[in-house]
A and B are shown apart, each in its own frame.
Chain A
Amino acid sequence: MDRIPTDIKSLNSFLAEERPKVIAYLRKNFSMSDFDIDDIYQESSIALFTNIQEKKLTVLTGSLATYFLRICINQAMTFCTKKKRVVPMINESNLSHNGFSDERLEELFSLTTADESEEYRQRSESIVDQIVESLPETCRNIFGGYYWQCLTTKVIADMFGYANANTVKAQKYKCVDKFKKKFNQLMANVHE
């Protein structure tokens, strides 16, 4: 197979969205030409499709985007090894952080909303979903990368062209602040 079937819209959308980030990351961390990076991306896309099609991806405990990033990294490492180029030291600890368990999230949410009614909780969930759907691109990228893909701030900086990990952190705080303001505004509208 040399290409992804065009009728799988959701996968093609996903790959189009991941492309700039993954290519930026590979450019930053591997000594490869753009042509080779493009090749790696193509082959990784096909590998992802094949793995899902052949049900090799039986249990996905993390995100599809991180799984795909790992395929791209492994392919790039294999390529560099074959071409006797420098292979960067990329391992799990500098790629992703520990992540946040569902149980812990539920526990923290319960602790912070213990005084609220069930109606409040349901309403706040609906408002959060609404805000998440309409996040500005910068915040969507950072929240997606940090909270969903559990990538380190260094990797996010490489993917989105930030100067360094601290810049990503600062941007994350701004985005959380924006989210908080929007959330409070929408919750206040409900009570009016």
Chain B
Amino acid sequence: MYMNNIEKYDELIEKFLSGNMTSEEEASFKEELKANPELKEHAKVVSSLIMGMKRKKEKDDAEIIEEIQEKEAFRRVAASRIDGGNNRFSAKIFLWAASIAAVCIFMFNIFNSTGNKESELFGNYYSEYSCESLSRGDEDSLVVAQLSEMFNGIKDAEDCTGTVKSLEAIYNNLDKEYKYRAYANDIAWYLALAYIKNNQTAEAEKVLAKLVEDNPDTEIADKAQKLLNDIKENK
């Protein structure tokens, strides 16, 4: 009886914590928390435990990243000092080349039309979505056709708000909408591009960062990281 209750409580608690309750379910859960001391205690323990795990693990992860980056910075400084004598000639060439490059960039910026930085970024990264070989069946054909229309419509749309909303709805429900899951990366990529075209670069950055994190060492991650770097440079 106890274990059955705990299982039931765990399901409710995890559904609440992952934001998967409807507003009615949430209201009912909060009422039950007040009325059921066993549920309340279990919820307190589980939430404390998860927060405690996060505190410890976040600290551990941050220490690893910090140690790697500190040691890398140290190695670079040490390498440049050891190599200083041999690199004087190379340094002169580098400085000369850097000065020329700086002048060229300055002149380019003066004579270039101002244009919209976001449009330029969009133009550099957008390409039409090709779906000819992707279909795996009737239902899949419909999904592919739907996505193609949305992705390829971004290019010529003056205002992408509608497309952004449609893609957001799919992107935020990928865990529930099985039929779109095979195209999750494409959806994320084109959503990021639609955000950029709509001057919502902060939103684009979030989507791109998740794309990088979810697909380490893949072509899409490299592409997303490159775009992220360009967005930051444009700021």
Contacts and interface: CB of A to CB of B under 8 A. Distances in A.
A and B together in one complex:
yes
B10 A173 contact: yes
B14 A64 contact: no
A173 B3 contact: yes
Given A55-B69, A59-B209, A180-B45, A74 B216 contact: yes
A176 B48 CA distance: 11
B119 interface: no
A3 B71 CA distance: 15
Contact of B216 (A47, A124, A129, A173): A47
Interface residues of B, number: 57
B19 A104 contact: yes
Contacts of A86: none
Contact of B47 (A51, A71, A75, A108): A108
Nearest to B64: A10
B61 A109 contact: no
Nearest to A103: B19
Contacts of B14: 97, 100
Contacts of B214: 70, 92
A98 B18 contact: yes
Nearest to B61: A64
A179 B216 contact: no
B61 A129 contact: no
B55 A143 contact: no
Interface in A152-185: 169, 173, 176-177, 179-180, 183
B213 A176 contact: no
Contact of B53 (A57, A62, A111, A148): A148
Given A108-B13, A109-B47, A128 B52 contact: yes
Q: Which of B7, B10, B53, B225 has the most CB of A within 10 A?
A: B53
Contacts of A144: 53, 57
Interface string A43-64: 0100111011101111111111
Given A8-B71, A44-B217, A176-B49, 6 more contacts: A11-B64, A53-B72, A70-B214, A125-B52, A129-B56, A176-B46
17 contacts: A10-B60, A52-B64, A53-B68, A53-B72, A58-B212, A92-B214, A99-B18, A100-B50, A101-B17, A112-B43, A125-B48, A132-B56, A144-B53, A147-B53, A173-B3, A173-B7, A179-B49
Q: Which are the 4 A-B pairs with shortest beta-carbon distances?
A: A112-B44, A128-B52, A98-B18, A100-B17
